[in-house]
Amino acid sequence: MSELNEGAERSRLLRVLGSVSASTTTLAALMFYFGRQHAYWFFDYFGVNFTVMGLTAQDYLVRSADGLFTPLAVVAAIGIVGLWGRRLMRRHLSSKAWRRVVRSAHWTSVALGLLTTSLAVMALIDPVAFYAYPALPGSCLAAGVVLLTVATRPTRRRADMGLPEWGRCSCW
């Protein structure tokens, strides 16, 4: 019997470690991307090709602080306004109206997810068109994946979840 408990504990530990390492890998990849973009545009401003500098992966990760500050601030502001709006609407809308709002939010999430992911793919095909907006392709890809992931969750179940339950969802 104790072998079953140990097996279940190991399985749970592996799931937790897997979820943490997946999040860490995603974060490191985003930091590397934004650090590389920051280095490219910083050195391009001075007329120097950034590859001449011989920057390492650690240099890109350090530079990502400058490149990620604005996108993270915008995402945090949108997130808090969204959470406040959700709480306010849930409190003041009838159950039927709330279901309509959730349904429309679901389809809006699908549409925006497809649009932003399509923009990221377009940037892969024609990167020159996005030189004026260096952070747009990466931001679009990240936002598109999150929006499409949220849209695949069951709408009925998600409508009644609180914030802590959203954090526990295995969306990623």
Q: Residues 115-156: pLDDT tens digits?
A: 999 998 898 888 888 888 877 887 788 788 878 887 887 654
Is 97 inside a domain boundary?
yes
Of the ranges 9-18, 65-74, 144-153, 155-164, which one carries the lowest mean pLDDT score?
155-164
Instruction: Examine residue 122 and state whether it is found in any structural domain, yes or no.
Output: yes
Q: Residues 51, 109: one domain?
A: no
Q: What are 86-102's pLDDT values in tens digits?
A: 888 888 888 898 889 88
Residues 52, 108, single domain; the answer is: no
Expressed as residue numbers, the domain containing 22 is: 1-73
pLDDT on residue 20: 65
Total number of domains in the chain: 2
Cβ pair 144, 117 in contact under 8 A: yes
Is position 145 within any domain? yes
Tell me, yes or no, whether 28 lies in a domain: yes
In terms of Cβ atoms closer than 10 Å to its own Cβ (0-12, 13-18, 19+), residue 39 is buried
Same domain for 104 and 31: no
172 plus 97 within the same structural domain:
yes
Q: Give yes or no: residues 58 and 98 share one domain.
A: no
Taking alpha carbons only, the member of 74, 75, 104 closest to residue 89 is 104
